[in-house]
Amino acid sequence: MPDAPGLELIRGEIERDCPGAVLATSFDRNQAALIVDPARNLDVLRWLKEQPGQRYTFLSSLHAADYLPAQPRFAVHYELINRDRVERIRVKAMLDERRPAGPVSDTSPAPTGAGPASSPPAGGELPEIDSCVELFPTAEAQEREVFDFFGIVFRGHPNLTRILMPDDYVGWPQRRDFPIGGEPVTFTYSEARYD
Amino acid sequence: MEVERRSLREKQLAARDMLRGDLEGEDLERYVEERVVTTTFEKVQNWARANSIFPLTFGLACCAIEAPISIVTARYDLARFGAEALRASPRQADLIILSGRVSIKMAPVVRRLYDQMLEPKWVMAMGACSSSAGMFSNYAVVQGADKFMPVDIYVPGCPPRPEAVLYGFTKLQRKIMGNPDQSWRRRYNAYGTEEWARGGPRSEPSPEAAKAYAEAKRSVENLREETGEPSLA
Amino acid sequence: MTEQVVDRDREIMTVNVGPHHPATHGVLRLVVDLEGEMVRELRPVIGYVHTGIEKSCESQSYWKVIPFVERMDYVSYFFQMEAFCGAVERLVDLEIPPRAKYLRTIFLELNRIHSHLVWLGTTALDLGAISMLWYCFRERDKILDLFEMATGQRMHTRYFQVGGVIEDIPLGFEAKCRAFAEEMPIRVGQYEDLLDRNEVFLSRTKGVGIVPRERLLELGVTGPLLRAAGEPWDLRKATPYLAYPEVEFKIPVGTVGDNYDRYRVRVAEMVESSRIVAQCLDALPDGPHIADDRKYVLPPRSELSTSMESLIHHFKLVTEGFRVEPGEVYYAIENPRGELGCFVVADGSAKPARVHYRDPSFVNLQAFRDMAVGTYVADMIASLGMLDPILGGVDR
């Protein structure tokens, strides 16, 4: 784990090479995090992976969180590891709900024809961010999972479809405003005919 | 009819005489009577079905490690109940053990497997998740497998011990043989508390159910009279 | 889907394997494109046991989350508990007592042996060495007896709590556990005797399913799969936690990276885990089994009738639970399958705002395509066994 001064050094060096990409740093409970502009996430990831002094080449986990009611609402987290020095760093890209991040490109992923909510609709209704599959092939299934549960579209992903929910499921289950579901348990006292 | 018990030595001598062709008259008659049982075809059929069930190798989640994998191992041997032959194809299986949580993506698959099984077939809902969704009251789990398929026996637990599964298995065998175990209604003398007896959802039991129920109730009362146990009422 | 191009020279047949199939480890569905017996393309379809555990956790207080997350990877349940409890302990900055560290390590290593035994039994069953199932499950029942002795349940024990373990081990556990740890290497030797010189087993696993080490690292694969390919990456040694800095053990590392190496790595890990258990039992310190901080840990029941503060703490913890300051933490440990990471977001209330598990089986499954494409169907089944996916963890 780079410590707090180390984290600031990293930020300074990224500022030199990719100015404006890192919005903030956070060193909380002994874990270092860089909060980046979602339009520049690939620049930061590539810098961290390929810079000779850094070499965070292993993407351990790609996941998202929903911070409703705080805004911006979504955050996509990238957990990176430098296996030689055994250091972890987290890159966090915050996304708003309906504003796509960065320029909206024409190349939306081809629809699979499996259902209305299976592949993402073109036109920027869902938050978008660039996919890092070329840098880290491990992100393929993990980005699909984030899309499945939060509705965050990853531009450039080869096959962005639902992975864990059924193909024709409507809704983004792990968003905070999605109901938990299930059915209420009927107890004896709540059933009138058992009086 | 009453047959008085003979000692082992007498029986051995009778068998030896029979092999020689020396048994005559009354001895011969008695020998034959001891070896003939009369019953109905249904009873024999049910007895055969109950004691040679072919379970389906079907495991969904955690309960799958306890059954069907752990109950066929040496400690909790399923083979002693005659159910050792687990078949992979639903066309050849009698019993499907729903071992694990049924998610909404898996429910049509399970229903299809159930439909592919040939009559007679039975379903055991093993564990809390397939009986009633267990602790997962959420969007992704079907709240109990009996929402989309009929279940014959429920085994509670999370996961149930293999002994519990085997106990459920023996109860299923009794049910197949036409002598279902009324369990707590028998123990606490609570006949008359069933839903159909109180005018509940389906107000009349099916004829087979009524017959089995009456027989069970009668046998319990006979047993109480014979042993002199006071009824619990 | 790309357009279908009719190719008159090749005959591709698309076959659906699963989700109900005698050889899949859990409800995994594979859509396989076959040309004769060779696998040309493979698409895994998962989600058939998705239980919405991560979403359910957001509506439970922190200690109620523990039984939920246990049921993800249902063969190595202690590891999920450790990942969550460790993450929450880092969120609240709680130090667990040394006895709890050693006890947790003992149970984690016993669970590792348990997981490898289940893997070995079912994989050998898939490959045709059916009698291995009975031998492996005989040992597995001994481990489950130990779990039942200490915690009351065979599986899904909810033994780890935030701050330590819920109960101290009973009398007689140490002796029984020590006897088991001494006996286990002998049993592993017996398993090796059965399989190591078995012609059929060797020809089915040697040279099959090789994926180069760099490709595995690109795909994010960790655990025995990575170690069999020659990379000595183990989080127990890289980022030591609990009692691992104080015990001495080796990490088995393979050379070629084929299925046979994966088998050897896991079998050797079983022996190493028994050594760790024996060392932890020898070095087990005395002391409390759970932390003393009453804000997060239930007070002992004997105090409830004498001390008013304990009663108040107990009431607060049971009804509402403890609150955690806002923050987020990612804590990773070494599962029998690889890196298990737990990501917890706290928002100041008594319930976590987000619990996410980075499950190793989910990420390792991406390597399956590389392992199986270009081999025969039978090799695909062998590779699936050696991959050791647990679909509860994949689908969560």
Check residue A112 and give its pLDDT: 40
User: Domains of chain A by range and CATH?
Assistant: 4-186 (3.30.460.80)
Contact C46, C394 (CB under 8 A): yes
pLDDT band for B232, please (50, 70, 90 cuts). low
**How many alpha carbons lie under 13 Å from residue B27 in its C-beta half-sphere?**
13
> Residue C84: what pLDDT?
93
Q: Residue B105 and residue C48: Cβ atoms within 8 Å?
A: yes
CA dihedral A72, A76, A77, A82 (to 10 degrees): -130
Q: Which residues of B touch A182 (CB under 8 A)?
A: 133, 136-139, 141, 143
Provide the angle, in degrees to the nearest 10, between the axes of the packed helices B162-176 and B41-51: 160
**CB neighbours (10 Å) of residue A103?**
8
The C-alpha atoms of residue A63 and residue A56 are separated, in whole angstroms, by 17
Tell me which residue of C385, C344, C44 sits closest to A140, measured CA to CA.
Answer: C44
Percent of chain B with pLDDT over 70: 94
pLDDT tens-digit series, residues C136-164? 999 999 999 999 999 988 989 889 999 88
CATH for C53-395, options being 3.10.180.10, 3.40.50.300, 3.40.228.10, 1.10.645.10: 1.10.645.10
Nearest to C20 among B101, B113, B159 (CB): B113
Chain A residues touching residue B141 (CB < 8 angstroms): 182
Of C147, C106, C333, whose CA–CA distance to B65 is shortest?
C147
Q: How far is B226 from chain C (nearest CA, A)?
A: 40
- pLDDT confidence of residue A195: 44
Residues of A in contact with C353 (CB under 8 A): 65, 67, 176
Q: Does the structure show a pLDDT above 50 at A123?
A: no
In the predicted structure, residue C191 carries a pLDDT above the cut 50: yes
Q: Please write the tens of the pLDDT for every residue from C19-42.
A: 887 766 788 899 999 988 889 999
Question: Which of B105, B138, B200 comes nearest A182 by C-beta?
Answer: B138
Indicate if the pLDDT at residue A164 is higher than 70: yes
Q: Mention every residue, 6+ apart, whose C-beta is less than 8 A from residue B87.
A: B54, B55, B56, B57, B93
What pLDDT, in 10s, does the model give residues C316-361? 988 888 888 898 999 999 999 999 999 999 988 889 999 999 999 9
Q: Determine the pLDDT at residue A106.
A: 40
Contacts of C134 (CB under 8 A, 6+ apart): B73, B74, C121
Query: B104: which chain A residues are within 8 Å (Cβ-Cβ)?
Result: 166
Structure tokens at C190: 């017996």
A105 has a pLDDT exceeding 70: no
pLDDT for A122: 47
Report the range of poorest mean pLDDT among B19-23, B203-207, C72-76. B203-207
Q: How many CB atoms lie within 10 A of CB B59?
A: 25
pLDDT at C189: 92
**Residue C16 contacts residue C37 (beta carbons within 8 Å):** no
pLDDT category at A113 given cuts 50, 70, 90 is very low
With a CB-CB cutoff of 8 Å, which residues 168-227 of chain B face chain C? none
Q: Quick one: average pLDDT of C197-205?
A: 88
What are B152-173's pLDDT values in tens digits?
Answer: 899 998 889 999 999 999 999 9
pLDDT of residue A118: 47
Of C56, C137, C140, the CB nearest to B136: C56
Residue A113 in contact with partner chain B when CB distance is under 8 A:
no
Chain A residues closer than 8 Å to B200 by CB: 193
Beta-bridge partners for C34: C13, C39
pLDDT band at A56 (very low <50, low <70, confident <90, very high): confident
pLDDT at A192 over 70: no
H helices present in chain C, as ranges: 53-57, 62-70, 77-92, 98-127, 131-151, 173-195, 199-205, 213-218, 224-228, 235-238, 259-282, 308-319, 360-364, 368-372, 377-387, 391-395
CA dihedral B122, B124, B130, B134 (to 10 degrees): 150
Strand partners, B99: B59, B126
Q: What is the mean pLDDT of chain C?
A: 89
pLDDT at C85 over 90: yes
Q: Report percent pLDDT > 70 for chain A.
A: 81
Residue of C nearest to A182 (CA): C56
Place of tokens 């963890």: C393
Lowest-pLDDT range of A56-65, A107-116, B181-190, C236-245: A107-116
Distance from CA of B168 to the nearest CA of C (A): 19
Tell me what the mean pLDDT of segment A40-63 comes to. Answer: 87
Size of interface B-C (CB pairs under 8 A): 93
Could you read off the pLDDT of B90-149 as tens digits, one per residue?
999 989 999 989 999 999 999 999 999 998 899 999 989 889 888 888 888 998 888 899
Render pLDDT for C159-185 as a digit per residue (tens, 0 to 9): 999 988 988 989 999 999 999 999 999
pLDDT of C320? 87
Report the alpha-carbon distance of residue B26 to residue C214 in Å, rounded. Answer: 89
Name the minimum distance, in Å, from the CA of A99 to any CA of chain C.
23
Sheet holding A74-82, edge to edge: A22-28, A31-36, A87-95, A74-82, A58-66
By CA distance, what is C361's nearest residue in A? A141
The pLDDT score that the predictor gives to residue B91 is: 92
Residue A114 banded pLDDT, cuts 50, 70, 90: very low
Q: Given CB atoms, is A79 within the 8 Å cutoff of chain C? A: yes
> For residue C56, which residues of chain A lie inside 8 Å, CB to CB?
180
pLDDT of residue C267: 93
> Which of C71, C142, C151 to mutate: most B Cβ within 10 Å?
C71
Whether A30 sits inside 8 A of C56 (CB atoms) is: no
Tell me whether residue C38 is exposed, middle or buried, using C-beta atoms within 10 angstroms of its C-beta: 0 to 12, 13 to 18, 19 or more.
Answer: middle
B161, C27: Cβ pair inside 8 Å?
A: no
CATH topology for the B53-176 domain: Rossmann fold (3.40.50)
Nearest by CB to residue A180, choosing from B105, B133, B139, is B139
User: What does the DSSP assignment read for chain A?
Assistant: ---HHHHHHHHHHHHHHSTT-EEEEEEETTEEEEEE-GGGHHHHHHHHHH-TTT---EEEEEEEEE-TTSSS-EEEEEEEEETTTTEEEEEEEEE-SSSPSSPPPS-PPPP-SS-TTTSPPSSSSS-EEE--TTT-TTHHHHHHHHHHHH--EEET-TT---SSS-TT--S-TTSTTS-----PPPPGGG-GGG-
Spans of all domains in chain B: 8-36, 53-176, 184-227
Return the sign of the alpha-carbon dihedral for residues B125, C395, C23, C108: negative
SS3 assignment, position C9: coil
pLDDT for C182 equals 92
Whose tokens are 């005919």? That residue is A193
DSSP B69: I
Residue A31's DSSP bridge partners are: A28
- Rounded to whole angstroms, the Cα distance separating B78 from B72 reads 5
- Taking contacts as CB-CB distances below 8 angstroms, the residues of chain C near B139 are 52, 55
Least confident of A130-134, A167-171, B199-203, C1-5: C1-5
For the segment B182-193, the average pLDDT, to the nearest whole number, is 78
